[in-house]
Chain A
Amino acid sequence: MIKALRYFIEIIRGSFITGRHFASNFFFRCLKVLGIKTKRKGAETIQYPEQRKEIASRHRSLHRLMTRPDGKPRCVACMLCVTVCPSECIYVEAAEDPDPEIQKYPAKFIIDLSRCCFCGFCVEACPEDAIRMDTGNVELAEYSQDDMIYDLDKLIR
């Protein structure tokens, strides 16, 4: 009996907390709309997916492979990203380029996004600035795990 009473007390307490947050957010948000600067801003609801928040410039999103001016991948298949990747989700196979100035290019470049932890180490390790995580694409859900495996065609754009 007493246990059940405590349960109701907690529910009432919880609704007071929600109410307090609503009131303070409403108040500070109104001040902001009216142009009055305060220390607190008050949380705002964004109508995702119709409305989207701007992504910070250093945000790490889906990878992309950079290309040379002629469209060839900038990657030289040095495999430093493969080495540094903590979730071991990158696989590169090198091939011989006829141009002696390039010599080495990736015949296969696979990122298994279902395993990637978006740490960005591959971007930092890359000596050629060939991989970046600045596409802004964060909606990477797929219906099957196989679709999460990105190869050269999907990574170069």
Chain B
Amino acid sequence: MQEKANEMIKIFIDKEPVEAEQGTTVLKAAERAGIHIPHLCYHPAFPPEGSCRMCLVEIEGFPKLELACSTVVKDEMKISAKSERVVKARKAVLEFLLAEHPLDCPICDKAGDCKLQDYYDEYGLFESQFKEAKEKREKKLKIGKSLILDQERCVLCTRCVRFLKEVTTTQDLGVFHRGVHSSVNIYEGAAVENNYSGNLAEICPVGAITDEDFRFKTRSWFLKEGESICPLCSRGCNILIEYHPGFPRFEVPKRVYRIKARENPEVNDFWVCDRGRYGYSYLDEHRADKIIMNKIEGENVLTWENISEYLGEKIKRLSSAKKTSGIALILHTWLSNEELFLLHKIFKDDLKVEKIFFADLPQGEADGYLLTSETSPNRRGAQEIGFDIKPVDLDALASGTDFLLAFGPFLSGLFSPKDLKAALNTVKRKVLFSSYTHELNSLFDIVLPVALIAEKEGSLTNVEGKVQGFQPALEPPGESLPEWKVLSDLGKELGIDSKFYSELPSPEAILIEMGKKIPFFKKKND
């Protein structure tokens, strides 16, 4: 099978010649050619089930209509995906599916993304011929920490049952009873309690399983989506961030409404864990949006335009007095490869700074599938760039440090406020790059608001050493800027290797430069 997989054969879909892989199914071949065959139960992650009967197609030489999701293509197969017979059959299937469907789209969170709604719009638009009243079922059944099941809306595609059987192997859901009484349910009140339960709401083609986190918050058609990478562990799952662009006259309560998985067979397939899915509050809560100046000499008002000049002057003064040992750096591994590379180049290669520490969140627990124990996204990248990842040593920091550049809000979680304050008070000048308004900010002279991973461009190295680029999905709030901009300006300002920094206008250019210096990043570039 595997050997034949790459052999291409020719099939005809609606008289159009289409190239298809030997051994693939009609539905996959059509999808590859850009022809959408409606389906509800088929999901590319699972073997075909064939229960919804929406993907019926006419194949020349077959007496009956065949299922596109499970029929394997043959050379010279002639398929019609839109013939009169097919459309009639799909209408009939839809009518049966809708016979028991409550049509409560106005209160259904799936409305807008619902496949049943889309197909009814495309094929249906008929009056129901059923005179009988619809079956009453459970409309609001809590089946997991954040899942609500509406049995009336369910079309019994069993995607959820198969997901729990094949991906999480926990088998928490099953189809109970027979015939018109069949319904999906949990066993004996044992709720779906795994770290991937949020995916159920996403793969449900109708609104049967909905997410309590998103429940009634907004309607899906108001949301826009941006592609990003989940930074909550070192797996680097590809995600879609769905955010509300806002109404012109009214303020919306939140910006980011939900996270969805973005397909990537090399990293996270179609899934994202619940930690990544529901842990998006870091994007909106307590965000810093202004430059804060707690202590500054003279009339100097700092803006992003003169910040690199200011920092450059302080560093130059120390380095010309041969006192670079007075410079300390506290980094974290939420920084992108490019930013860490610039930091390494400026402070380690050019200035020979010794005191470089890393302040990250403590390790969590891995779940054996996607979630890793590492709670920051780019530790591997920092290692590959050549950083020796040392935890923060307050005594070393307090002894003879004149200038401290700190990144991130994580420092406060590692030490008691008293110790931290005592150590930081010994440092003459201290600058913090942080995305949050935090009590930690009051300990620093200057706090610069910076963009988060979802708001900037760059790349991350995941735990397996895969370098993944990302583009901004959201606008950074207020005055926030990405760190790499400040760092490349600072590099230019210091004048040690200014030619090098002047040719780095974007993270992309930095990554190419990195490939030249560090072989690890070279192979990923090609």
**Selected interface stretch from A10-18, A24-32, A57-65, A73-81:** A73-81
Partner pick for A77 among B111, B216, B221, B248, CB 8 A cutoff:
B216
Chain B residues whose CB sits within 8 angstroms of the CB of A82 once the complex forms = 247
Q: How far is the CB of B317 from chain A (nearest CB, A)?
A: 54
- Is A41 interfacial (CB 8 A cutoff)? no
Within A80-117, the residues touching B (CB, 8 Å) are 80, 82-83, 88-89, 91, 93-96, 100-101, 103-104, 110, 112, 115
- Whether A112 touches B249, Cβ cut-off 8 Å, given contacts A100-B139, A100-B140, is yes
* B107 surroundings in chain A (CB, below 8 A): 76-78, 103-104
Residue numbers in A under 8 Å from B265 (CB-CB) = none
Q: Is A95 a contact of B216 with CB atoms below 8 Å?
A: yes
Cβ contact within 8 Å between A101 and B139: yes
Q: Is A147 an interface position by the 8 A CB rule?
A: no
B151: min CB distance to chain A, Å: 11
Are A83 and B219 CB-contacts (below 8 A) given A100-B139, A103-B107, A103-B140?
yes
Q: Is A124 an interface residue (CB 8 A)?
A: no
Separation of A89 and B216 alpha carbons in the complex (Å): 20
- Write the chain B residue with the least CB distance to A102: B107
Q: How far is the CB of A119 from chain B (nearest CB, A)?
A: 16
> Could you tell me if B249 and A94 are in contact, using CB atoms closer than 8 angstroms?
no
Assess whether A19 is interfacial by the CB under 8 Å rule: no
A-B contact count (CB 8 A): 46
Per CB-CB distance, the 10 closest pairs between chain A and chain B, nearest first, are A78-B106, A91-B250, A94-B216, A104-B107, A100-B140, A100-B139, A79-B219, A76-B106, A76-B107, A127-B106
In chain B between 210 and 244, which residues have their CB closer than 8 angstroms to a CB of chain A? 215-219, 221-222
List residues of B (124-180) whose CB comes within 8 Å of A's CBs: 139-140
- Within the complex, the shortest CB–CB distance from B290 to chain A, in Å, comes to 28
Shortest CB distance B133–A (Å): 14
Complex Cα gap A95–B105 (Å): 16
Contact B219 A88 (CB under 8 A): no
B253 adjacent to chain A (CB < 8 Å): yes
B82-135 contacts to A, CB under 8 A, are 105-107, 111
26 A-B interface contacts by CB (under 8 A): A76-B106, A76-B107, A77-B107, A77-B216, A78-B106, A78-B111, A79-B219, A82-B247, A83-B219, A83-B221, A83-B222, A88-B248, A91-B247, A93-B253, A94-B216, A94-B217, A96-B216, A100-B140, A101-B139, A103-B140, A104-B106, A110-B250, A112-B250, A127-B105, A127-B106, A128-B106
Give me 9 other A-B pairs in contact (C-beta within 8 A), A88-B249, A103-B140, A104-B106 excluded: A78-B107, A79-B218, A88-B248, A95-B216, A100-B139, A100-B140, A103-B107, A104-B107, A112-B250
CA distance A94 to B217 in the complex (A): 7
Closest B residue to A94 by beta carbon equals B216
- Residues of A with C-beta under 8 A to B139: 100-101, 103
For the complex formed, measure the closest distance between the CB of A123 and the CB atoms of chain B, giving whole angstroms: 15
Measured between beta carbons, the chain B residues less than 8 angstroms from A77 are: 107, 216
Q: How far is the CA of A80 from the CA of B219 in the complex (A)?
A: 9
Name B247's contact: one of A78, A88, A95, A103 (CB within 8 Å): A88
Name the residue of chain A whose CB is nearest to the CB of B253: A93
Minimum distance in angstroms from A150 CB to a CB of chain B: 13
B contact residues around A104 at 8 Å (CB) = 106-107, 216
**Which chain B residues have a beta carbon within 8 Å of chain A's beta carbons?**
105-107, 111, 139-140, 215-219, 221-222, 247-250, 253
Chain B residue numbers with a CB within 8 Å of A128 are 106
Provide the bound-state CA to CA distance between A101 and B219, in Å. Answer: 20
Cβ contacts under 8 Å, A110 to chain B: 250
Q: By the criterion CB–CB under 8 Å, are A80 and B249 in contact?
A: no
A89–B248 Cα gap in the complex (Å)? 9
Using Cβ atoms and an 8 Å threshold, which residues of chain A touch B111?
78
Residue of A nearest to B218 (CB): A79
Q: List the B residue with the shortest CB-CB distance to A115.
A: B249
Chain A residues lying within 8 Å of B106, measured Cβ to Cβ, are 76, 78, 80, 104, 127-128
Looking at the assembled complex, report how far the CB atom of B248 sits from the nearest CB atom of chain A, in whole angstroms: 5
From B219, B221, B249, B253, contact of A89 by CB (8 A): B249
Report the Cα distance A77→B216, complex, angstroms: 8
> Shortest CB–CB separation between residue A78 and chain B, in angstroms?
3
A76 and B248 alpha carbons, distance in the complex (Å):
23
In the complex, the chain B residue whose C-beta lies closest to that of A75 is: B106
Q: How far is the CB of B214 from chain A (nearest CB, A)?
A: 11
CB distance from A88 to the nearest CB of B (A): 5
**Complex CA–CA separation, A96 to B219 (angstroms):** 14
Residue of A nearest to B112 (CB): A83
Task: Return chain B residues, CB-CB under 8 Å to A127.
Answer: 105-106
Once the chains are docked, how many angstroms separate the CA of A78 from the CA of B221? Answer: 11
Q: A88 — which chain B residues lie within 8 A by C-beta? A: 247-249
Interface string of A127-148 (1 = CB under 8 A from B): 1100000000000000000000
Instruction: Report the Cα distance A93→B249, complex, angstroms.
Output: 14
Q: Is the CB of A91 within 8 A of B249?
A: yes
Cβ 8 A contact of B219, one of A78, A100, A103, A112: A78
Which of chain B's residues has its CB closest to A91's CB?
B250
Closest partner residue, chain A, to B139 (CB atom): A100
Which residues of the other chain, A, contact B140 by a CB distance below 8 angstroms? 100, 103
- For B249, the chain A residues whose CB sits under 8 A away are 88-89, 91, 112, 115
Q: What CA separation (Å) do A115 and B139 show in the bound complex? A: 38
Bound-state Cα–Cα, A112 to B248, Å: 12
In angstroms, Cα B247 to Cα A95, docked, is 19
State the Cβ distance, B252 to closest chain A Cβ, in Å.
Answer: 9
Kindly state the separation between the CA atoms of A76 and B219 in the bound complex, as whole angstroms.
12
Residues of B within 8 A of A115 (CB): 249
- The interface residues of chain B lying within 8 Å CB-to-CB of A101 are 139
- Alpha-carbon separation in the docked complex, A93 to B222 (Å): 13
Shortest Cβ distance from B108 into chain A, in angstroms? 9
Q: How far is the CB of A41 from chain B (nearest CB, A)?
A: 43
Residues of A within 8 A of B248 (CB): 88
Expressed in whole angstroms, the minimum distance between the Cβ of A99 and any Cβ of chain B is: 10
**Which residues from chain A contact B253 at a C-beta distance below 8 Å?**
93
Q: Which residue of B lies closest to A103 (CB)?
A: B107
Contacts of A83 in B (CB 8 A): 219, 221-222
Which residues from B are CB-within-8-Å of A80? Answer: 106
